[in-house]
Chain A
């Protein structure tokens, strides 16, 4: 895993009640994650990585892997 993926993995394990390890390729819309949990998680991600993901970009982030790639693009 890349550094971003490792940090994202820890953040998800600590803050999302998934009852399992995060699935990198599961569609977020098919996970049992509520929108409220997802909103809170995105705020944590913004804080953790010092970024501010605009709402229009969130539409393209449909998996945890896509989120990791987005963060890598923003912080490279």
Chain B
């Protein structure tokens, strides 16, 4: 099942379930439509290898299986297109905390990527280099933002959240969550990094700023701390909350 030049992963008979969202700071973003659609899911499954199909079968409930299959098929198609490789030559391995890494044969792919899904929305990001993390969520409040969940934020982030009301509070809660999740995913630390131990750039959660650069403080969970500048973008729309975190290359000169 070699992917010819310029052909995306959607077979001609199936309506595409992804579209480009644009580029921010050199990071290309693609939205994936994860609404329930058996035709799309069946088409997506044809693009998965044996290990991915086995993983899909392990999901006991349809929603996470659908999210995984539809996103992974699009990721495979886009990587094949960018790398000009055959789908069969592409394989994924999970790093320590589940972050996927891709190989063509035995060679790591020469670009950064990350995938997120939340509800009916998927998000895939590509960058030429540097650690990269994305997150996308539907704004369905499952928690009282001022309840126990607030402890995943720093004191100042909690204060900003406590001061907000109504829809603004909901949007701020998801903005904070997606930005922090994007950072964690870029670092690849999973839930071993306590998100209350680092504070997001204040203008992003106090003044509505949508893009900022910041440095993580030295953290116990990150023993090999080196100074790294990160670019954070709030990608939220009326339909979803989303964010991307990207490690910037060191400044030259």
User: Given the complex, which residues of A lie within 8 Å of B117, measured CB to CB?
Assistant: 32
Interface string of B131-151 (1 = CB under 8 A from A): 000010100001100001101
Asked whether, in the complex, the Cβ of A29 is within 8 Å of the Cβ of B152, the reply is no
13 additional A-B residue pairs with CB within 8 Å, beyond A36-B181, A40-B152: A30-B55, A30-B58, A32-B64, A34-B137, A35-B184, A36-B177, A36-B180, A38-B190, A40-B148, A40-B151, A47-B148, A55-B220, A55-B221
The yes or no answer to A31 lying at the interface (CB within 8 A) is: yes
User: Given the complex, which residues of B lie within 8 Å of A35, measured CB to CB?
Assistant: 181, 184-185, 189-191, 193, 195
Tell me the complex Cα distance, A31–B68, Å: 10
Tell me the complex Cα distance, A29–B190, Å: 8
Q: Which residues of A contact B (CB under 8 A)?
A: 15, 17, 19-20, 23, 26-32, 34-36, 38-44, 47, 55-56, 58-59
Cβ of B62 to closest chain A Cβ, rounded Å: 9
Asked whether, in the complex, the Cβ of A29 is within 8 Å of the Cβ of B60, the reply is no
Interface string of B216-239 (1 = CB under 8 A from A): 000011000000000000000000
Give the number of residues in B that approach A within 8 Å (Cβ atoms). 35
A39-B94 contact given A19-B63, A32-B67, CB 8 Å threshold: no
Pick the contact of B60: A23, A41, A44 (CB < 8 A).
Answer: A23
User: Given the complex, which residues of A lie within 8 Å of B177, measured CB to CB?
Assistant: 34, 36
User: Given the complex, which residues of A lie within 8 Å of B199, measured CB to CB?
Assistant: none
Cβ of B176 to closest chain A Cβ, rounded Å: 9
Cβ of B100 to closest chain A Cβ, rounded Å: 10
Tell me the complex Cα distance, A5–B143, Å: 23
User: Given the complex, which residues of B lie within 8 Å of A38, measured CB to CB?
Assistant: 190-191
Tell me the complex Cα distance, A35–B60, Å: 21
Tell me the complex Cα distance, A52–B107, Å: 40
Cβ of A52 to closest chain B Cβ, rounded Å: 11
| 8 A Cβ contacts from B33-52 to A | none
Tell me the complex Cα distance, A39–B189, Å: 11
